[in-house]
Amino acid sequence: MSINKRQALTTNAEEGDGEPATTSGRPSQRGGNASNKSNVAQRKSGGDNTGAIVVSVLLAAATIAATYWATTGNSRTRPAAPNPELRDIARQLLHPSKGILAADESPGTFAKRLSKGVPNTLAVRRQWRRALLSAPQLEGYISGVILHEETFINADSDVQSAISRGIAVGIKLDEGTVPLQPKKSGERATKGLEGLEERCTRFHSHGGAVFAKWRAVFRVGRHTPSRAAIRRNAADLAAFAAAAQACGVVPILEPEVLAEGDHDLLRGGAAAARVLRGVFRALRRRPDVDPGAMLLKVAFITPGQRSTEQAEPHQVANATLRVLLRTVPRVVPGIVFLSGGQSEETATANLLALSQLALDRVQAGKPPLPWALSFSFGRALQNSALKAW
């Protein structure tokens, strides 16, 4: 075979005609050319279909990803510009030798605190709150007091007396909770967003309130707190923060993980971490919230009240600080702790252990905590005094 014939055969093979060369060097039958063209067209058509499928899959994946990021609140938004006035109020509430008194019980909750035979009337509730607000040297230990709206409405002179003594007054703006579906889950959402700005402005402008509080509750169970409950309550807490700052008051966000249940320390900490991550995801989506002009109010991480596990104060402090360091941004100026039904002794011991842990970090050469720690106790400040009264 001549060199030219060999080259021609090689060229045909490389071009992919689809037919083997004959030993004689003659081209294959003409029918093969038509078949070859058909095969090439099929391959091109198949390639086009494959490309379309790939594009469709990629578009579907992008849609799913966009929906996920939107519904889980992972998108980031530039926060509001720093509000110097509100940041100053937040710092005042975080006075190093003072804390916040929570005296914002609703009439129904107040009834549970009273001894048998004591009527739960407006006059009795007003007398008790007057006793609290007029306590000698209260201003030396209390930086602020959270009040129920009935105190602003029916005891304005007591409120103004506290303000004149240098105690900041705050208002509880949430209106209690309602069940989330399904009801059997025991999860709840907080009411009060409707008309929130108008109520906030009224208590700020006419009552002298400089901060406000909103409470959401989360139960620890086999399937709770659920993503839906976290997402709903976190969005409401963020909406409250925006409304409060818009009307000129410092918001205190209280996502309380309840101590009810039989969960252990580890499970309680995991639930609290999920809740706090959800709250700060929701806050990051708000361009109208200054995170440096708000306070966070949380419970200590403890085993459930029905748990067989017992936790010492140093264990509670370690578990609590571990969660906070992983979830709370540095820009938040302070974290205040609720007593959550703990006795005066237990709540105080847990707070002292947490403060000691923060001090030990500094003495060990570690950076200080990025936020101030304080208290916002209700029953842990009132219980014994109320019984005596």
**Active-site residue list:** 297
* One-letter amino acid of 187: E
Q: Are 286 and 79 in contact (CB under 8 A)?
A: yes
DSSP 8-state secondary structure symbol assigned to residue 18 = S
The CA distances from residue 89 to 101, 105, 137, 293, 376, in Å, are 16, 23, 21, 8, 16
Q: Provide the 3-class DSSP secondary structure of residue 102.
A: strand
Residue linked to tokens 């105690």: 167
Pairing of strands 188-190, 177-179: antiparallel
Half-sphere exposure of 180 (CA within 13 A, CB side): 21
Angle, helices 227-246 vs 196-207, to 10°: value is 40
Residue linked to tokens 């419970």: 299
Of 273, 274, 275, 355, which is closest to residue 313 (Cα–Cα)?
Answer: 355
Distance CA 361, CA 356 (A): 9
Of 289, 279, 297, which is closest to residue 231 (Cα–Cα)?
Answer: 279
Phi and psi at residue 319, to the nearest 5°? -65, -40
CB neighbour class for 108 (10 Å; exposed up to 12, middle 13-18, buried from 19): exposed
Residue linked to tokens 């937040």: 90
Residue linked to tokens 């230990």: 141
Checking phi first, is residue 142 left (phi over 0); if not, alpha (psi -120 to 50) or beta?
A: beta
Of 266, 271, 264, 273, which is closest to residue 218 (Cα–Cα)?
Answer: 271
Tokens of 1: 């075979």
